[in-house]
Amino acid sequence: MNSNRIKFFAIAIITLPLFVLLMINTNTTRTYARVDDDAATVYKTKCQACHSPKAEKFFDPAKPQEEQVTAILKGKKSEKPPYMPAFEEKGITADQAKALVDYMKTLKTPSN
């Protein structure tokens, strides 16, 4: 083995855990909602993956707003995953949750 190769492996071994740490880090920061984000942006980044771009999954617009807001703030545990996460602890306020429910309704029942 020549010394260049040894150097390469040494660098790889040192930098790999740093990369992993960095990825874990950006992941956790990404789940935090910025307060100034509007409903459309929050929905796209934090809800769409589970609820689909048109809010067709796990969302019944006929349910009372109160219940839906609570689901967003406190989460909801169904029988099997995916579970609705609690978003209050991630910085979503009741007002934002209301806006999100309204936004999801517009997605599900397109007016155009």
Residues at the contact surface with ligand HEC, assessed by CB under 6 A? 42, 46-47, 49-51, 58-60, 63, 68, 71-72, 76, 78, 82-85, 87, 100-101
Burial status of residue 57 (CB atoms within 10 A of its CB: 0-12, 13-18, 19 or more)? exposed
- CB-side neighbour CA atoms (13 Å) of 112: 2
Nearer to ligand HEC, 18 or 60 (CB): 60
Residue 15 CB, shortest distance to ligand HEC, in Å, is 31
Compute the distance between CA of residue 104 and CA of residue 58 in angstroms, rounded to an integer: 11
Nearer to ligand HEC, 16 or 40 (CB): 40
Nearer to ligand HEC, 54 or 78 (CB): 78
